[in-house]
Amino acid sequence: METEHLFYSQMHFAMLKIDDEAKRRVINAPAINKSSSKKFKILGEYGRADEYEAPFTAIGKGTYGTVYLAREKKTGEIVAMKKQVHGLSSLREIDILQSLVGRPWFVEFKQVVVDERKDDDDHVYVVMEFVENDLKRYMDGMAWAFAEDEVRCLMRQLLEGVSFLHRNGIMHRDLKPSNILVNDNWGLKICDFGLSKRFETKFGSHSRRVGSLWYKAPELLDHGVERYSCAVDMWSVGCIMGEMLLDQVLFKGTSEEEQLQMILTKHVDEDKFLLVSEEGIHLLKSMLDLDPHSRITADQALNHEWFR
């Protein structure tokens, strides 16, 4: 089999200043010196990249790394391998993925593997289950929009996953169709936790440089806002729901300023949702409430009459 070389980037964990959160949750070890023979002790237990045949092809690009298809040599299982390129965010992503193992709404984390090289250009990859499709590609291949019952099926799974994240102190911060995997049995799994972050009970200041423009909550587009909550994820979920119902992006700005203007002027035009039930429109509006304090939560959404 002809293959191209997968392992081509480097990750310098030892050069990073790891924050206290990542230290507590991931390492329990001092900073690693580049001359140390245990350069990746910071990752805990890890496997070897040569346990896999790779690559077949690039299948996607996450926030902080390209995702490739590979095959585990021992079992023959096809897996996805994400090349890690940003140290601190990668540690957080690995930490969160490990904490979600066994939960049906998230891509399954398998292990971290390292390609240790003599030239010290060691490469790190996160190995995950391979899921056949993502929601964006799924919708791009459809001739028409989902039926409302189909949207309801997918939305229930998405909200269950988001509810689990929020109840366990995690904001995803980059929910969009390409970060939602869908298998052949309509099972839904959330992926790409590169921008995700754990939060304390009280929300403090967070970076606004998160999310993808078309799915970004208005409070993230307001340059004067320094604090935000899980409500940013619920806005993204509302945008995804509307896109599935219409088969088109709700707010398609080309800049943050234009995006915010479109949200404020267009918002939810009910004339576009003529085939959607009154309950469905009510839920959609509740997720796209401009005020994050009154925006519906994931738990509340799951109890909405649209699902009864």
Which positions are annotated as active-site residues? Answer: 174
DSSP state of 252: -
Token pair listed for 182 = 């869908």
Token pair 């949702």: residue: 273
Cβ neighbours of residue 118 closer than 8 Å, sequence gap 6 or more: none
| CB 137 within 8 Å of CB 24 | no
Task: Count each helix (H run) and each strand (E run) in the chain, helices first.
Answer: 9, 12
DSSP state of 211: S
Between the CA atoms of 210, 213, 219 and 224, what dihedral angle is there, to the nearest 10 degrees? 80
| CB 144 within 8 Å of CB 247 | yes
| CB 24 within 8 Å of CB 92 | no
Q: How far apart are CA 19 and CA 35, in angstroms?
A: 22
Q: How far apart are CA 88 and CA 92, in angstroms?
A: 6
Angle (nearest 5°) at CA 172 between 237 and 42: 165
Sheet holding 180-182, edge to edge: 133-134, 180-182, 188-190
Token pair listed for 40 = 């990746």
Cβ neighbours of residue 209 closer than 8 Å, sequence gap 6 or more: none
Q: Sign of the CA dihedral 41, 95, 123, 210?
A: negative
